[in-house]
Amino acid sequence: MGIGGCIILIAVGAIITFATDWHAKGVNMDLLGLIMMAVGIIGLAAYVSIFKRRRIPPTADGDIPPVEERYYPGDRRY
């Protein structure tokens, strides 16, 4: 679930909790909305923390520096 899915889950949970007065037999709709919002917030926090760890820090000009391999004829490692 990405950022969009988490935000949609939070929004739908908030709509169910605060903007509706639906009643279903055996289901507490307010609690269902709160659970959906909590799952969305937890998912968003997890996604952001994982995404933050995977990001490569940009250089001063914003680009990732290219990797250059050089071969020197006198170097015995190659």
What does pTM read for this prediction?
0.64
CA 58 to chain CA centroid, Å, is 20
* Cβ pair 30, 3 in contact under 8 A: no
The pLDDT tens digits for 9-28 are 999 999 999 998 888 899 99
Q: How large is the greatest C-alpha to C-alpha distance in the chain, in angstroms?
A: 82
Q: Where are the domains of the chain?
A: 3-54
What lies within 8 Å, CB to CB, of 56 at 6+ separation is 64
pLDDT of res. 21: 87
Distance, in Å, from the CA atom of 39 to the CA atom of 56, rounded to the nearest integer, reads 28
